[in-house]
Amino acid sequence: MLQALRFEREALFALDQTQLPEREIVLELRSAAEVAEAIKRLSIRGAPMIGVAAGYGVALACLAGEPAADACELLVAARPTAVNLAHAARRVRDVALDGGAAAAVAEAVAIEAEEVAASDASASFGADLLAGVRTVMTHCNTGALAAPGRGCALSVVAELAQRGSLERVTATETRPLLQGARLTVYELARLGIPHELIVDGAAAGLIARGHVEAVIVGCDRVAANGDVANKVGTYGLALAAREAGIPFVVVGPTSTIDRSCDSGSEIEIEERDGSEVRSFRGAATCAVETVCRNPAFDVTPASLITALVTERGVARPVSGETIAALLP
Ligand code: MRU
């Protein structure tokens, strides 16, 4: 199985996702600062994965005799939207305050194990929900690179393929960083799942023409009322799915639910540098002086989401009540 992260010999080894699919380069990260930088530049990405990495980042600081609180602050600041990052970093920090470095490492390992179990359970719930579906569209990358185990939305896709119904996955390229084109296609090819790649602008028209039976995506933060922040472009897919009358399914572990956030309007949306739009891997996409806006995420209202699949079951319809029922 694809392993995006490995904690070993007091270092975090991370497959550099900015280099895929051309180069499989493994980074050796030895401090919280190095982990935070890897998260910022998207060498490590995907909501559950950056949570796990942040947990190990705090543990690395503890092993080096540095204050867990400082490491936690640094890591939480790396990216604002995915709540998993803050949840995991704070969890390891709190354990370290009493138990020291060994307890911090054990907590980070436990968080990773919980996410692997969540991926498996969500895959099964999601495949039950979408039983018999032959064609799906997915956005961004939500597989083993984005979440420990088999991922979130892509774990459901893999499970549907394993159960034998799935005939084709349509992956959006996901501008501006091409997580779909570079990473989802890489994962689907490794899994041997039939797939095709489309430009983001083709998605709504293909959905309207009945090209797919369902849209399935991951999530970076779920507000208490069920609104979902996910990769920019998700909202448009949800609107197209609603108009076409096909299911729009969100998959994510409960570690992505933020009870302190009443609705999607309270979720901070990361604004990334315009240079990611102006060029890609050194090649210009427009005139250098072009002003670019680069929000990394958008918010899809709960009313457009058919179901939220988690390791604790499925919220359907998605509402404050059904979300609360998933939580302990
Ligand atoms: O900016 P990214 O690549 O980290 O964005 C990732 C996404 O939006 C995913 O859909 C989300 O994290 C869920 S993946 C398990």
CB distance 280 to 274 below 8 Å: no
d(CA 22, CA 250): 29
Residues 282 and 215 in one domain: yes
The domain that contains 110 carries what CATH number?
1.20.120.420
Structural domain for 231, as ranges: 120-324
Tokens of 313: 């079951």
Return the ligand 1 atom nearest residue 152 CA.
15
Q: Is 146 in the pocket of ligand 1 (CB under 6 A)?
A: yes
Return the ligand 1 atom nearest residue 297 CA.
8
Nearest to 250 by CA among 163, 145, 130, 116: 130
Q: What is the pLDDT of residue 139?
A: 98
Residues 17 and 127 in one domain: no
Q: Is 17 in the pocket of ligand 1 (CB under 6 A)?
A: no
pLDDT-derived band at 1, boundaries 50, 70, 90? confident
Strand order of the sheet with strand 257-258? 257-258, 221-223, 228-231, 297-300
Q: What is the pLDDT of residue 79?
A: 98
Tokens of 138: 């997915």
Q: Is 122 in the pocket of ligand 1 (CB under 6 A)?
A: no
* Beta strands 228-231; 195-198: pairing state: unpaired
For the cut 90, the answer to whether the pLDDT of residue 51 exceeds it is yes
64-118, pLDDT tens digit by residue? 999 999 999 999 999 999 999 999 999 999 999 999 999 999 999 999 999 999 9
Residues 109 and 139 in one domain: no
Q: Is 148 in the pocket of ligand 1 (CB under 6 A)?
A: no
Q: DSSP for 287-318, please give it.
A: -TT-----BSEEEE-GGG-SEEEETTEEESS-
Residues 50 and 22 in one domain: yes
239-255, pLDDT tens digit by residue? 999 999 999 999 999 99
The last residue of one of the domains, among 118, 143, 176, is 118
Residues 110 and 124 in one domain: no
271-321, pLDDT tens digit by residue? 999 999 999 988 999 999 999 999 999 999 999 999 999 999 999 999 999
For the segment 185-201, the average pLDDT, to the nearest whole number, is: 98
Nearest to 8 by CA among 73, 105, 139: 105
Q: H-type helices in the chain, by residue range?
A: 32-40, 47-63, 68-76, 83-129, 153-163, 185-191, 203-208, 234-244, 275-278, 320-326
Q: What is the pLDDT of residue 201?
A: 98
The last residue of one of the domains, among 90, 118, 146, is 118
Residues 249 and 109 in one domain: no
d(CA 162, CA 265): 38
230: CA distance to ligand 1 center in Å? 6
CB distance 73 to 32 below 8 Å: no
d(CA 21, CA 238): 28
42: CA distance to ligand 1 center in Å? 10
For the segment 195-204, the average pLDDT, to the nearest whole number, is: 98
The domain that contains 295 carries what CATH number?
3.40.50.10470
Residues 211 and 319 in one domain: yes
d(CA 239, CA 246): 10
pLDDT-derived band at 150, boundaries 50, 70, 90? very high
Which is catalytic among the residues 220, 227, 258, 298? Answer: 220
Mean pLDDT of the chain: 97
Q: What is the pLDDT of residue 111?
A: 98
Q: What is the pLDDT of residue 207?
A: 98
Tokens of 309: 């699949």
Burial pattern 27-49, b for ≥16 Cβ within 10 A else e, equals: bebebbbbbbbbbeebbbbbbbb
Tokens of 308: 């939220």
Which residue has tokens 């997915």? 138
Dmax over Cα atoms in the chain, in whole Å?
59
Q: Please state the domain count of the chain.
A: 2
Q: What is the pLDDT of residue 9?
A: 86
Q: Is 46 in the pocket of ligand 1 (CB under 6 A)?
A: yes
151: CA distance to ligand 1 center in Å? 10
Q: What's the predicted TM-score (pTM) here?
A: 0.97
Q: What is the pLDDT of residue 17?
A: 98
